[in-house]
A and B are shown apart, each in its own frame.
Chain A
């Protein structure tokens, strides 16, 4: 593994991998000085997908960072979406063949039971029965042991950890399809699909979406899909979405029909190409960048990764700050919210984990460096 370190407060560790990486999520740490992450990988040579957990030792002198394989599980087909619970050490994975799996990374209580490292990823629940989803599940999210899954078939299903089977919320019969889903509260979630449309669902009011952002609000020539949605726990009325053609926008339920565009269509004049130009695969609120203007009407800073290999932070009304520009796509990234972990220098670390098609990047930086820009 080659590791290149950049000489500035934020260090980038680049760890080449032999397999294609589809998604990544942080898991609660094993110990104060090591972190745990789950990766959805695909071995193109053998045509086999894997779900792997890796532990990551945090370097004390920012010299060597090692990624140690921890456990591995083979899903029935390629993983399309990954979600992890904040507290309870569960990983939820959905597959291209339409099955959903809940796995316990169970490393806390049963360490060294029988075989040394002991902790294996155990599937605690698999839903793949007929009628669950037809074709790929595109998005999955979990909150308080309830998962919501959406698919190209237009179905929205709920799966609870304790129960067998699933609960159908909606069946679009393939007439509509969803790409992404995110819980807002234990009874509300937001879905997104093609045409840049978003739907707000409330389980207390069944039958269909409670509120909708109509697609095709952008009058541009191209339209595309939503790939990722994020909702900030402190501002549930606003959801952030990223999708095709470098589009990142926020949808505020209080001003329903007009999305706030952060990047992509409608920013600047139409003649200048937007930045980035290609698919935004993942977007998340960046809790480590201080907003330049703290007002409840402004959208909080967000980080995104795109097909053209750009990782950047974007803020409403400002030029995006580019953190990384790489020759291959950034498929997924995750910001570690389990902070601050404390290093020897007694400063909180910011750690981000991001994966390109076959690179893993780990950003390790100090939170104090993040008042201005990242690097």
Chain B
């Protein structure tokens, strides 16, 4: 980039960055301080941990052994013209125009690829850019005055408007030069309008015509004979020089010679004032149209304009040589009016005295000296000349930006944007810079090795995204900028998403929603796993299983199932059955995904039907219970240590009074399981079920009896 002074820094930084800023820390820890740890916390805050050497005496009492304090680093907030709340509004509002433009770019470039067009962009690409620019511009504030009063104050020369922001002024400047291709022919006139809107912004650092007018406005109320006031003619000619014609005419008509009692003896003088006023209001302007209330005659085509311009100048010259000047007795009026004629004729000295800083002088040149200036090169030449004539007393960020634009140096423009207006501006203005400008296009879109293989455009987006990520209220919009850079942005996005807390369900769901929007399925399932484990560990088993289930994490679900079996054996008594009901319902019928938890589901059915059996009569419920028992025992997901408790629970089924409920093959299956169990008991990891000591023998006896009865029955 441009700045050699910054040692080739990619993102421009100000000199102030080198100044040390002291933040006092109030930690209240008594010296000697033993250790100090510093780390980043949220946003612009630093977390400082201060620790004492642990005291051995043990009489530390109420004193702190250490403390963690957070220090919020002030970032100066630019010039403070835009509050945090307003910035956030701009940041959120610019998301959708930006996204729309990106999607249009994608569709346009895919179209041009299909048609093998050499140009990467559609011919009308700049129209999209202009629409985008207007959308963004409308976010930056409204130029319209709130409401004009019903009775206009005759002496109010300046309209009361909300103070515009430098950001908006800068954006409009960029729009004029880069996006608004239709109006290129009228660029000088557009700059005249621009200065009329934003000259007051420059008043902070230097004298401006606007400031002069503002001062004069205060005096105006008390003035009786306006034309005798020394400031009057100075102010009028200044306003004329920068082309604020309606103000000039309004001021001229306040001239004392218009008053009825004076009209008689100041006829010639009044005639001269009125002629000048009429000449001013008839000034030819090379522009398609003028806002209502603005003065001048518009010409779209150059030849017409030249004709009118020549004619107008001839009229002025004629008036200058007219004999009436001698008859004008009022000295100030005569000199003032003649000076105005000199301005209109483009006398450089007069223009120079009438204007306050180089941009004003520059504008006056467009109006009265070189209205046909076209092309940035000649405009830059003129600007150089004006700066020589009126050297800058102090620099303003808008001036820096204008010079950068005129000098056709994209790097300077970027640097000025970044320095003066921050990462938001750079990120969004790049779209304007590259619209139809091949040089900028290659410069900004070329992938650079020293930037890790990304282009400058993407680098700036990432920088802006990092700014957004650092604040809790803006991180949600960072993904749109991060995802536009596949190489590095996706990694940063993953880090950003993993950093968000999981303990708040609402925030967690918002997080997952972002994953869904950007199709980051793996990230989202990882987040769900983290959340699942968090809830599980905090005793919210239901939520834990829900999240792990959502993440389809079979490994963890199986392990959870193992753990749950322990509590199942103890706690599925008849009392606590209802609590389990909800959880089991949660597991649903989708048994595949829940792995070992399938057991719980079946166990629930078994228990349920077992509970419904009241007397010894064979009912639907008892047959159901047998079916559940068999399927539980057959199922490989049932852990062996549950075999015995299951059988023990179903003793009353095995010892059924009416008739044997299990047939011989079913009973043999259960006996086999019992055999297997005795083998399994030898293994070291076997957990003994909490059952009465005679359980095994009573189950064995019941099974044997049942086998006998069923064989008899089947014969």
Contacts and interface: CB of A to CB of B under 8 A. Distances in A.
Max chain A CB contacts within 10 Å: which of B505, B516, B546, B582? Answer: B582
B84 A279 contact: no
A152 B477 contact: no
A174 B541 contact: yes
B100 to A, nearest CB: 12
Interface string A156-175: 00000000000000011111
B359 to A, nearest CB: 29
Contacts of A277: 516
A337 B124 CA distance: 51
Interface string A175-215: 11101000000000000011101000000000110001011
Interface residues of B, number: 46
Nearest to A18: B85
B516 A278 contact: yes
Contact of A177 (B86, B510, B542, B588): B542
Contact of A358 (B72, B88, B588): B88
Contacts, number: 128
Contacts of B509: 225, 244, 279, 307
Given A174-B539, A175-B542, A44 B471 contact: yes
Contact of B542 (A172, A208, A216, A308): A172
A327 interface: yes
B535 A18 contact: no
Contacts of B95: 327
B2 interface: no
A138 interface: yes
B589 A216 contact: yes
B220 interface: no
Given A152-B540, A174-B541, A197-B585, A307 B580 contact: no
Q: Is the interface of A mostly helix, strand, loop or mixed?
A: loop
Given A152-B540, A328-B92, A215 B473 contact: no
B697 interface: no
A interface residue count range (under 10 / 10 to 19 / 20 to 34 / 35 or more): 35 or more
A152 B505 contact: yes
A315 interface: no
Interface in B200-248: none
A223 interface: yes
Interface string A39-58: 00000110100000000000
Given A44-B473, A279-B513, A152 B588 contact: no
Given A174-B540, A175-B541, A279-B513, A20 B472 contact: yes
A353 B539 CA distance: 37
B535 A152 contact: yes
Contacts of A358: 85, 88, 473
A96 interface: yes
Max chain B CB contacts within 10 Å: which of A152, A171, A222? Answer: A152
Contacts of A348: none
A69 interface: no
Interface in A246-304: 277-279, 281
B505 A214 contact: no
A356 to B, nearest CB: 9
A149 B576 CA distance: 21
A6 interface: no
A207 B510 CA distance: 35
B579 A136 contact: no
Contacts of B540: 135, 152-154, 174, 177
Contacts of A216: 585, 588-590
A88 B510 CA distance: 35
B565 to A, nearest CB: 14
A329 interface: yes
A329 B513 CA distance: 11
Interface in B83-109: 84-86, 88-89, 92-93, 95-96
Nearest to B480: A327
B579 A175 contact: yes
Nearest to A15: B85
B285 to A, nearest CB: 33
A327 B93 contact: yes
B391 interface: no
Contacts of B471: 44
Contact of A96 (B42, B88, B504, B543): B504
B281 interface: no
B583 interface: yes
A73 B85 CA distance: 22
B497 to A, nearest CB: 15
B538 A195 contact: no
Contacts of A44: 42, 471-473
B476 interface: yes
Contact of B504 (A136, A281, A308): A136
B43 interface: yes
B14 to A, nearest CB: 24
Contacts of B85: 1, 16-18, 358
A306 B477 CA distance: 16
B43 A177 contact: no
Contacts of A307: 509-510, 513
Interface in B463-520: 471-473, 476-477, 503-506, 509-510, 513, 516
Given A197-B585, A327-B93, 5 more contacts: A16-B86, A153-B539, A172-B579, A174-B539, A174-B540
Q: Shortest 8 CB-CB distances between A and B: which pairs? A: A176-B582, A44-B472, A216-B588, A175-B583, A174-B539, A174-B540, A194-B546, A16-B85
10 contacts: A1-B85, A152-B505, A154-B582, A176-B582, A177-B540, A194-B546, A279-B510, A307-B513, A327-B95, A357-B473
